[in-house]
Amino acid sequence: MFYYFKTIFLITLLTAMFLFIGKLLAGEVGMYIALGVAMIINFISYYFSDKIVLSYYNAKEVNSGEIYDIVKEVAFRANIPTPKVYIIEEDQPNAFATGRNPHHSAVAITTGLINLLDYNEIRGVIAHEIAHIKNRDILISTIAAGIAAAISIVIDIFQWTFFFRRDDENNNINIFSYLLILILGPIIALIIQMAVSRTREYLADQTGAKIINDPISLAKALEKLHYYASNIPLYKQNLAFNHLFIVNPQSLLNLFSTHPPIEERIKRLYKLANNR
């Protein structure tokens, strides 16, 4: 229930930002227009954010093969419906889960991950993603991705609108408000992602390891993924989607990392293995 409240909070935040920007651009009329746009984007974020993310990375659905079989087996162990399985043609080894709930979910894995990890390590990664679905993290994470992307688009639209208005129209827009939006917009998007991701990664590691009863394979997978993700760039990068991945696809951005330290995640998994 707590995560549904967080979802409502994110939707409310997006709506408030649209209303604020709409009022700055066109007064009360702008607020009503912004409200309509916000309602459309909120609807899209809830029902179609997962499809937008998968489409952005050109993910291709598979219905057979080793990866599909692993997802099916781990989902059975987790007592959830088998998610849809997607493969992304990317050299960087990475993976993510998306969707609204266990009945509307998907797991996406890059070809780089498939080529890098052995069977047990791939199984560990998939268990982590299945854990996100089982723990119902995917709704809040997927909507956060949609909202963060929407905020970025709104900032761009506002910036271009501001510069192309006539001078007398620009006087109606407080320069302080303009700067406030440009500064706070991206920060809010990052805060949204950080708030929903960091602590849930620890839980997904723990839950995933318990599902397959193999913390070591997941720990080894995380170590490899972290190293190679640091050296192999993601071809299609988008800050709005970083928090979805099992390891940060842009690892140099440590200041605003959407993930907890990989060393701590690995340490906890080895501790979990020793306590069995």
Active site residues: 129
Measured CA angle at 90 (ends 147, 44), to 5 deg: 20
Q: Which residues contact 220 (CB under 8 A, 6 or more apart)?
A: 121, 124
Q: Quick check: helix, strand or coil at residue 209?
A: helix
The span from the CA of 112 to the CA of 109, in Å, is 8
3-class SS at 58?
Answer: coil
Other CB atoms within 10 A of residue 64 CB: 8
Measure the CA–CA gap between 220 and 227, rounded to whole angstroms: 11
For 112, the token pair is 């780089």
Judge whether 209 and 124 are in contact, CB under 8 Å: yes
Check the CA dihedral 219-262-116-86 and report its sign: positive
Which residue, chain included where needed, has tokens 């006539």? Answer: 166
Contacts of 219 (CB under 8 A, 6+ apart): 124, 265, 266, 269, 270, 273
